[in-house]
Chains A and B, each alone.
Chain A
Amino acid sequence: MLALLVGVLSSTGVYLLLRRSVLKLVLGIIFLSNAVNLTIFIAAGLVQGKPVFVSEDAANPADMADPIPQALILTAIVISFGLVAFTLALKYKYFSLSDTDDLDELKELEE
């Protein structure tokens, strides 16, 4: 079920990336990165309702969710936040200089 969700999310992401609008491009990136984060999360195994907090007396790893993927995803989320922010600014700048949202406009420069 969740696997399917990943599939749908990444399909959406890819589809959006292939559109001509730059804004959709940004949305596509967000979707794809969400999908990938979820992939990591699922691939490492799901454990319900057992957050990883240890106290001094009990530390039985078998009872807990795996903390590493969480840390990884946290890092990944933050990084992709930075990237998205930058992309947005780039997009904004691109628009304000060229007055277009159309990615096909990027072409003319390559001969």
Chain B
Amino acid sequence: MIALPVLIPLFTAILLVFSNQARYQKIIGVSGAFAIFATSLFIISNVGGKQIEVLQSSNWEAPFGISLVVDTFSALMLVITGFVSFALAVYSLFYIDEKLITHRYFLFFHTLLMGVNGAFITGDVFNLYVWFEVMLMSSFVLITLGSKPLQLKGGIKYLTMNLVASLFFLAGIGILYGKTGTLNMAHLAVILQNDEQAILMNTSTMLFFMAFGIKAAVFPFFFWLPSSYHTPPVAVTAFFAALLTKVGVYAMIRVFTLFFIQDPQFWHTLLLAVAGLTMVVGGMAAASHYEIRRILSFHIISQIGYMIFGLGVFTPLALAGAIYFMIHNMLAKTNTFLVAGHINRLKGTYKLKSIGGLYKSYPLLGILFIIPAFALAGVPPLPGFFGKFFLIKAGFEAEKWFISGVAIFTGVLTLFSMIKIWNEAFFKKGLEEVPEQGLRERLPLRELLPSMMLGAGTILLGIGAGVFFDYFIEAGNQLMNSDQYIQVVLKNFEYVAN
């Protein structure tokens, strides 16, 4: 059952191989995305915030086969991925060229999804690498699909830096395996917990940290993101914004809670320092730009800082906050990109200086923008507020004053950059130019539907924070006490120390 989030996209992708008519591509693509979403809902209702479900693929007991593990954290990520990607699939129907669709846009869409879901459910380090590669390969193709020079340029940068990350990761795995002789995460946890020499693992921890750091776009490693995210079609950017960096964060949270738990003082300090720098640098950069997609791209980086901050504080509440923040971010960030796409369709540009007057002509679009924008800026009772609340509360409880202060301060930067878009694009008087040819006069409601879905999701996540909170704190607890995870995965394996 829990393998379905991987198998369904694969199956969908295979079907897409055989057809090359745009119409079938569309139908199959969207219904596949819906099936994944439905499955993920089913999974979370099974896992239910308490259990951890495990599936030993090929029927070889852990640590021998590849274990697929779904705990609350994974389940949450699956659901949100399913939801966001369904919305995006619908959005792609309207916002991706017919030509790209016949060139199997949806195939790559689904393989990307497969990689992401795989990364969320796997319990095996090398398998994680494989999923990363699936994801990366698909994203390489997506970013260059359409072969515009701009895209290719962005694509080269994106590709090289992510390849380097993969190689770091692979080297880390190699060394890790060399030392422990296992690849199963739970088994690794057992071995490393009982090993007093585990401090020697630090080098491969560092390799992992750098690999995930590049993928998650944290401070010294984030360059690839802003230099490539504004190049592909906006639906693709939105998809990336929702998923890719979050997978990096997910992986980081997973390994740093499960088996890289030695020498916490060093690592948590490092993580917090990185988090702080990421927040501020990203926020400042976002404040200084005037192209919507670039503002949003830098803004992603800033928000990643919060998630790493939660990991660095390292309490159940902080982790719950980080997860909550991730989910909120996936919803809201994606939505801002979608709205940017709508704006582009209406105005033919992403440059704030030449946009204006949208509020007057498209108030509904204004509302659709303001929901995620305010959510990101942390306006109560939208989810950004609660995310910050959890994180900062946790930060204060752990007495990390400085970094919590930075987190609070960054909120102003976020707000500033969001309001800038709002003021310039929506409030400013529209320029009195004759619209260019081919621009749309109005937006049909159905094209706005995905934004509405995501907006509704955002509001729900905020208002219902109390209802969902149990899930998040349970996820945090599960992450903090890895015993449950280990026992479930290795239930038939004698894991006596050494």
Direct contact of A and B (CB under 8 A): yes
What's the Cα separation between A69 and B244 when bound, in Å?
28
**For A36, what are the chain B residues with a Cβ–Cβ distance below 8 Å?**
167, 170-171, 174
Also in contact, A68 and B159, with CB within 8 A (given A40-B171, A90-B144): no
**For A45, what are the chain B residues with a Cβ–Cβ distance below 8 Å?**
178
What's the Cα separation between A59 and B154 when bound, in Å?
52
Q: How far is the CB of A90 from chain B (nearest CB, A)?
A: 6
Q: How far is the CB of A16 from chain B (nearest CB, A)?
A: 11
Interface size class of B (residues with CB under 8 A): 20 to 34
**For B137, what are the chain A residues with a Cβ–Cβ distance below 8 Å?**
79, 82-83, 86
What's the Cα separation between A37 and B149 when bound, in Å?
33
Contact A87 B159 (CB under 8 A): yes
**For A44, what are the chain B residues with a Cβ–Cβ distance below 8 Å?**
174, 177-178
Contact B157 A106 (CB under 8 A): yes
Also in contact, A32 and B167, with CB within 8 A (given A44-B177, A69-B174, A72-B126): yes
Q: In this assembly, does A4 line the interface, its C-beta being within 8 Å of a C-beta of chain B?
A: no
Q: How far is the CB of A24 from chain B (nearest CB, A)?
A: 11
What's the Cα separation between A72 and B127 when bound, in Å?
10
Contact B171 A109 (CB under 8 A): no
Q: In this assembly, does B41 line the interface, its C-beta being within 8 Å of a C-beta of chain A?
A: no
**In chain A between 74 and 111, which residues have their CB closer than 8 angstroms to a CB of chain B?**
75-76, 79, 82-83, 86-87, 90-91, 93-94, 97-98, 103, 105-106, 109-110
Contact A109 B153 (CB under 8 A): yes
Also in contact, A43 and B130, with CB within 8 A (given A86-B141, A97-B147, A98-B149): no
Contact A39 B183 (CB under 8 A): no
Q: How far is the CB of A104 from chain B (nearest CB, A)?
A: 11
Contact B155 A32 (CB under 8 A): no
What's the Cα separation between A86 and B175 when bound, in Å?
28
Q: How far is the CB of B429 from chain A (nearest CB, A)?
A: 25
Partner of A40, one of B141, B153, B170: B170
Contact B153 A106 (CB under 8 A): yes
What's the Cα separation between A92 and B391 when bound, in Å?
47
The residue on B at minimum CB distance from A82 is B137
Q: What string of 1s and 0s marks CB contacts (under 8 Å) between A13-40 and chain B?
A: 0000100001001000100110011011
What's the Cα separation between A39 and B170 when bound, in Å?
9
What's the Cα separation between A91 and B156 when bound, in Å?
8
**For A40, what are the chain B residues with a Cβ–Cβ distance below 8 Å?**
170-171, 173-174, 177-178
Contact A32 B164 (CB under 8 A): yes
Partner of A33, one of B153, B154, B167: B167
Q: What string of 1s and 0s marks CB contacts (under 8 Å) between B179-192 and chain A?
A: 10001000000000
What's the Cα separation between A53 and B256 when bound, in Å?
37
Q: What string of 1s and 0s marks CB contacts (under 8 Å) between B303-324 and chain A?
A: 0000000000000000000000
28 inter-chain pairs at a CB distance below 8 angstroms, sorted by A residue, are A22-B156, A36-B170, A36-B171, A36-B174, A39-B171, A39-B174, A40-B173, A40-B174, A43-B179, A44-B174, A68-B183, A69-B177, A72-B173, A75-B126, A75-B130, A83-B133, A87-B163, A90-B152, A90-B159, A91-B156, A93-B144, A93-B147, A94-B152, A94-B156, A97-B147, A97-B149, A98-B152, A106-B156
Chain B interface residues (CB < 8 Å from chain A): 126, 130, 133, 137, 140-141, 144, 147, 149-150, 152-157, 159-160, 163-164, 167, 170-171, 173-175, 177-179, 183, 226-227
Additional 13 contacts, C-beta under 8 A, given A29-B163, A36-B170, A109-B150: A17-B160, A17-B164, A39-B174, A40-B174, A43-B174, A43-B177, A68-B183, A83-B133, A86-B141, A90-B156, A94-B152, A105-B153, A109-B154
